């Protein structure tokens, strides 16, 4: 599957408007029929990152924002690798979280509320081989 070109805007506000227009008006249907909903309030979590790696997202991420259209593509990509997500607080795998690894190292995470409904959590380019290795060491998402 080919992925859309990167998106270039001049301001955070333009990316926010794009996110609201493309994602917040209606759910995105994944390749396997899951309705994935997006919340406007998640914009900062999705498109900002921590300058100090301390989980305080304080800087707008050009790398994340340029790939804004890859989120939908990854959700619709039947060739993406699917894994069960990790719950950091509970220190266990959480079958309500699905992690997709697409186009090498692009990661999209959703949280299922039912077998056919989910909320978008985040998306990012995994910036190290160890991040991808950790994801790939987890359980493979069961085919439905």
User: By residue range, what is the domain housing residue 101?
Assistant: 12-136
What pLDDT score does 109 carry?
97
Taking CA atoms, 39 is separated from 2, 12, 45, 79, 95, in Å, by 26, 17, 11, 26, 21
Residue 7, domain member (yes or no): no
Residue 2, domain member (yes or no): no
pTM comes to 0.94
Q: How many domains is the chain partitioned into structurally?
A: 1
What pLDDT score does 58 carry?
82
What pLDDT score does 111 carry?
97
Task: Give the separation between CA 68 and CA 58, rounded to whole angstroms.
Answer: 19
Q: Mean pLDDT of residues grouped by 10 in the chain (144 residues)? A: 95 97 97 97 93 82 96 97 93 95 94 96 92 94 84
């Amino acid at each position: 599957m080919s992925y859309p070109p990167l998106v270039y805007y001049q301001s955070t506000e333009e990316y926010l408007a794009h996110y609201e227009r493309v994602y917040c008006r209606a759910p995105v249907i994944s390749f396997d029929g899951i309705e994935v909903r997006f919340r406007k309030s998640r914009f900062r979590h999705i498109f900002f990152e921590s300058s100090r790696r301390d989980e305080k997202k304080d800087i707008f991420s050009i790398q994340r924002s340029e790939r804004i259209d890859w989120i939908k593509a990854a959700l619709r990509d039947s060739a993406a690798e699917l894994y069960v997500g990790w719950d950091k607080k509970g220190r266990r795998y959480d079958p309500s979280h699905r992690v997709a690894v697409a186009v090498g190292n692009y990661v999209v995470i959703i949280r299922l509320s039912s077998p056919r409904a989910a909320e978008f959590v985040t998306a990012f380019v995994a910036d190290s081989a160890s991040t991808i290795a950790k994801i790939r060491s987890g359980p493979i998402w069961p085919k439905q």
